[in-house]
Amino acid sequence: MTVLITLHDVEPAIRLNARLEADGVATVLVSPLDDMRAEIKRAKPGLIVLSGELTDAANVALLRELLWSGTPVVGLTDGEDVAQHDRFRAMGFIEVFSKPIAVDDVALGVRRILERHALQATIGLIGESEPLREVMVKVEQMAPVSSTVLIEGESGSGKELVARALATLGPRRNKPFIAVNVGALPETLLESELFGHEKGAFTGAAERRLGRFELADGGTLFLDEIGEIPQSTQVKLLRVLEEREFTRVGGTHSIAVNVRVIAATNRPLREHVEEGAFRADLYYRLNVLNIYLPPLRERPEDIPLLVRRFIRDLSAQHERPFPGISAEAMEILVSYPWPGNVRELRNLVESMVVLSHGREIGPDDLPRPLREGGSARFLPVRIGPIVQNSQRAEGHELQFILRSLLELKLQVEELRRRVDDNRTSALLDGSRGGFIGEIAAPSPGGLPAIAGIGPRDEVPPPNVVTIAPGMKMSEVERAVIQAALKEMRGNRRRAADLLGIGERTLYRKIKEYRLPELDYSLD
């Protein structure tokens, strides 16, 4: 893969070029006086290094074109200003190095970017976020071995892509890769699908049939939605994993197989074990190696990369020219929580490509749920008490302020902005009060409904957050997080989903607010 280096700043460009050539990397030096686009078209580089003048209008225009083409761009800039580096990355530079450059460090960084992009091309996972980089590192580490792998991640996050990458990069790359969605198969047919059956084993078994384990012999078997497998089949699956042999349905002879099993689940398998729906011994046998694939909302910086990639691929597929998306529309896409993850994003981009009629997409062209931030989930909330026997707030006002207060990720800055909004005063005027409004969890896509308004001394229902005027925002956030943990009986993953934040963010908040390690189960 070729690296193109510009000569905007000759000294670091020449040094970097010599170092990369010594490492066996093909390079091309291009003068800014040359036709840069023609040189890029001729060399077809896998990466471009702009050695200077990163804010020059011509370079900025070139960078935008390269972003849409998918070619990564590295910048060399003067100074160690971290904020400036962040601005350059926001512009689209995949990495920025300070001058005078440490040539060995820059060359190492360039080689790693090339390797990462080659791996991404193989896997199909697009992104530069730290969580995704961790996934790719694990894939590289786990691919050469034959140990069983458990992939955990929400639906639409790309678990099968990871499974195929493990097979493609490993020693079984030229052997069969068989994928089975065990959750989609009826229990009566599942054993036959996995292990095969003999002729006459059951009604309709007119001939012998090979199961997926036999078909995958020597290769890889991917078992998707493994948490849905019935317990009657779990025992046989455990035996195959431990003994590397099985018996067809209706058969009497054991059949030996050499198969690497990769399992996936959209819900933590440990939860199935805790509920008694999944055998603990099978869980430990599957969870030899583990990969957690983060949902799209935990890596929003990857969304622009994915959008540009999907637009490029789908425009070519449908033969539709597509001018692109405005910065405002892209900002909406980045802030949306994407419950359907990458699959949902790709489907939306495809609809925009097909229906855009050759014009740039703006905010008004996006579906309403995206513009409104998606349908938020809510914990029950109680406002009060202030002063008894005074005028009550209108129900729709109470709904609005609580929706504004608790929407999305419970970021402190967002909460403060919403609570400080002038509309708060319309709801909680100093002389008013004495009301207690209970807000129940809404149906998807709808505003929360008023469950009831009662006197100040009314006993609140279980697990209700009480928000009184004068509470600090940190106190509000702490109370909401604690209520979410109690609502989900201490399960952090579910609590994070309920709050609309990442599990790591929730863990950090638990430490920050020193929430006790106690039993959150409801009485």
Would you list the domain boundaries of the chain?
Answer: 3-122, 133-292, 298-371, 381-512
Q: Is 453 helix (H, G, I), strand (E, B) or coil?
A: strand
Q: Is 256 helix (H, G, I), strand (E, B) or coil?
A: strand
Kind and range of the H or E element at 346? helix 341-355
Side-chain half-sphere exposure of 478, counting CA atoms within 13 A: 11
Q: Is 92 helix (H, G, I), strand (E, B) or coil?
A: coil
The full DSSP string for 366-398 is: S-HHHHTT-------EEE--S-TTSPPPPHHHH
Residue in this structure with the two tokens 């309709």, named with its chain if needed: 204
Cα distances from 289 to residues 138, 146, 213, 218, 251, in angstroms, run: 9, 10, 20, 20, 32
Query: What top-level class would CATH report for the domain 298-371?
Result: mainly alpha
CB 514 within 8 A of CB 422: no
Task: Give the other-Cβ count within 10 Å of 337's Cβ.
Answer: 20
* Per-residue pLDDT tens over the stretch 85-132: 888 988 889 999 999 999 999 999 999 999 888 888 888 888 889 899
Residue in 491, 497, 479, 499 with CA at minimum distance from that of residue 522 = 491
Residue in this structure with the two tokens 């991640």, named with its chain if needed: 153
pLDDT at 469: 64
- Whether the link from the prior residue into 131 is cis, omega within 30° of 0, is no
Identical fold between 3-122 and 133-292: yes
Residue in 176, 161, 172 with CA at minimum distance from that of residue 216 = 176
Query: What top-level class would CATH report for the domain 133-292?
Result: alpha beta
**Domain 3-122: CATH superfamily, name plus number:** Response regulator (3.40.50.2300)
Q: How far is CA 370 from the centre of its chain?
A: 17
Q: Is 26 left (phi over 0), alpha (psi -120 to 50) or beta?
A: beta
pLDDT at 89: 87
| 406-409 long-range contacts, CB within 8 A, separation 24+ | 406/376, 406/378, 406/379, 406/381, 406/480, 407/373, 407/376, 408/337, 408/373, 408/374, 408/376, 408/500, 409/337, 409/499, 409/500, 409/501, 409/505
What single-letter DSSP state applies at residue 209? B
pLDDT at 146: 92
CB 415 within 8 A of CB 401: no
Cite the DSSP H helix spans in 259-340: 269-274, 280-286, 303-318, 327-335
Strands 465-467 and 381-383: parallel
Residue in 41, 11, 12, 45 with CA at minimum distance from that of residue 28 = 45
The full DSSP string for 403-449 is: HHHH-TT--HHHHHHHHTSTHHHHHS-TT----EEEEPPPPTTSPPP
Strands 27-30 and 450-454: unpaired
* Per-residue pLDDT tens over the stretch 182-225: 988 887 788 888 998 888 777 777 788 898 999 999 999 999 99
Q: Give pLDDT tens digits along the chain (523 positions).
A: 899 999 999 999 999 999 999 999 999 999 988 888 898 989 899 999 999 989 999 899 899 888 888 899 999 999 888 888 888 988 889 999 999 999 999 999 999 999 888 888 888 888 889 899 899 999 999 999 999 999 999 999 999 999 999 999 999 999 999 999 998 888 778 888 899 888 877 777 778 889 899 999 999 999 999 999 988 899 999 999 999 998 888 888 889 999 999 999 998 999 999 989 999 999 999 999 999 999 999 999 999 999 988 988 888 888 888 777 888 889 899 989 898 999 999 999 988 888 877 778 888 888 887 877 654 343 444 444 433 333 434 443 444 444 444 444 444 444 444 445 444 343 334 433 433 333 333 333 333 333 333 333 444 445 566 666 667 777 888 888 888 888 777 788 778 878 877 777 787 788 888 887 544 444 3
pLDDT at 468: 67
Task: Give the other-Cβ count within 10 Å of 24's Cβ.
Answer: 7
Residue in 331, 330, 342, 348 with CA at minimum distance from that of residue 296 = 342
Q: List all residues 6 or more positions away from 30 whose beta carbon is below 8 Å from its beta carbon.
A: 4, 5, 6, 7, 36, 39, 43
Q: Would you report the helix, strand and coil content of the chain in percent, each value rounded to 5?
A: 45, 15, 40
User: What is the pTM for the complete model shown?
Assistant: 0.66
Provide the edge-to-edge strand list for the sheet that holds 381-383: 450-454, 436-439, 381-383, 465-467
- With vertex at residue 70, the alpha carbon angle to CA 68 and CA 76, rounded to the nearest 5 degrees, is 100
Strands 254-256 and 245-247: antiparallel
